[in-house]
Amino acid sequence: MSVTAVEAGTPVITGWSAVSPFGVGRAAFVEGMLSGRRTDTPAGEWDGAGERACLVPGFDARETLGAKGTRAMDRVTGLAVTTVGELLEEYGGTRTPEPDPETALVLGTTTGSAQSMMSFTRASLTGAKPFHVEPAVIPNSVMNCAAGRCAIWYKLKGPNATIAGGRAAGLFSLVYTRRLLLTGRARRVLCGAVEEYSRARSWLEFHSRGREHSVLSEGCAVFQVEPAGQVGGTPLAAVLAVDTRVSADGDPAGAMRACVNRVLSRGGVEPSALWAACPSNPGGAAGAAEREVLTTMFGRAALERIPRTAMAGDPGAASVPFQLASALALAQRDPAPHDRPVLVTAADPDGAVAAALVLLLADGAR
């Protein structure tokens, strides 16, 4: 199947990039993810709850983006600005495009930068006066800082949204992206999610999840999404259907099953036609339910076709973008999944459950 066979208006991914524990950029992600190498490293100097973390190696916003405009930039913003820059450079040919009112940016998050927020409050609590705080970091303490700074950096004047959805944030972003395209509010959407590693996040996760607490990961992946029928870039994948739910009655497996069945039905795909299922694997009860449902429905082999190396550690809001990037990375190297549907799922311990059915297109490998 080629993109011309996909229903008009369907969101089509025509480019992507990532900043991940494998390094900066798409090539680093593809190479690292397919090599299967581990990315967890000692993280003692961060003073977090865990001794190890999967960090973007040597990441520093000032070094990556230059000194101008980065003095007060926090890590989550640096990760997002770097990723969007990589994407624009690879697919648009420039990091300094003309002002663009037709390109939207949609970024998923958990809580923005908990570190920026808590550091700011700490300064207020411990300074000689409660207002002895650094004014330049005030924007960092609001959750839409990363998306707003990306817009400034790359002159993206279209709709600019930040959606808080925990480990399902990437799929909420995709739903919102589809809506922006269907309603003509944007011609192109840069859609993804970002999460930083920090002392604050590490301790919040430690206290929230108790024994389930795992090694944390970080990073950002952003996808260029255009509507089928009006695609400018090379079609890599079509998002056939997305569904999101809440396991309101404490039945995460039931919610996951309903989500998966709905996207298969909307996409007109038989369970047996699915090439792979790629779960978010957040651990705990939510993760167990996700895995059980997918294994029962599609068999163990379907869960093993897409390597899980990029999902080592808990990437938080970056989970779904890393899952989707892993599928695209594999399709770039291996013809087996071409024109086959894959399922990307997310289960957040806070209750959100989501699934997307994505068709990997042969066009992308040309």
Partner 1 sequence: MRDDRAARRVVLTGLGIFSSIGTGAEQLVASLRAGHSNVKPITAFDTTGFAHSNGCAVEGFEPENWIRTVPVDELGRASQFSVAAARMAVEDAGLAEDDLRGRRCLISIGTTDGESHDLDRLTAMDVAGGPHAMDPAIARRVPAARLSNAIARELGLSDVEAATMATACSAGNYAIGNGYDALRVGDADIALCGGADALCRKNFTGFYRLGTIAPDRCRPFDKDRQGILTGEGAAVLVLETLQSALARGARIYAEVLGYGLNCDAYHPVAPNQESVAACMELALHDAGVKPYEVDLISAHGTGTKANDVTESRAVRQIYGSQAPPTISLKSMLGHTMGAASALAASACALAITHGFIPPTINHVETDPECEIDCVPNTSVEAGLRVVQNNGLAFGGNNAVVVLARYPMEATT
| Range 145-184, binding partner 1 (CB under 8 A) | 145, 147-149, 151-152, 154-166, 168-169, 172, 175-176, 179-180, 182-184
By CB under 8 A, residue 111 contacts partner 1: yes
Neighbours of 99 (CB within 10 A): 9
Collect all residues with Cβ–Cβ distance below 8 Å to 321 and sequence separation of at least 6: 18, 108, 170, 192, 193, 220, 221, 222, 223
Nearer to partner 1 (CB atom), residue 199 or residue 308: 199
By CB under 8 A, residue 352 contacts partner 1: yes
Neighbours of 110 (CB within 10 A): 25
DSSP string, 136-157: GGGGGGSTTHHHHHHHHHHTB-
Collect all residues with Cβ–Cβ distance below 8 Å to 250 and sequence separation of at least 6: none
Nearer to partner 1 (CB atom), residue 6 or residue 276: 6
State which of positions 260-299 bind partner 1 (CB under 8 A). none
Nearer to partner 1 (CB atom), residue 131 or residue 272: 131
By CB under 8 A, residue 188 contacts partner 1: no
CA 335, 336, 342, 347 dihedral sign is negative
DSSP string, 250-279: S-HHHHHHHHHHHHHHHHT--GGG--EEE-
Choose which of 27, 118, 285, 288 interacts with partner 1 (CB under 8 A). 118
Q: How far apart are the first and last CA of the chain?
A: 14
State which of positions 209-228 bind partner 1 (CB under 8 A). 210
Q: How far is the CB of 78 from partner 1 (least distance, A)?
A: 14
x/- map, 40-79, partner 1, by CB under 8 A: -------x-x------------------------------
78-86, 120-128, 279-287, 338-346 -> range binding partner 1 (CB under 8 A): 120-128
Rounded distance, CA 174 to CA 176, Å? 5
10-18, 113-121, 231-239, 270-278 -> range binding partner 1 (CB under 8 A): 113-121
Tell me the residue type at 197: Y
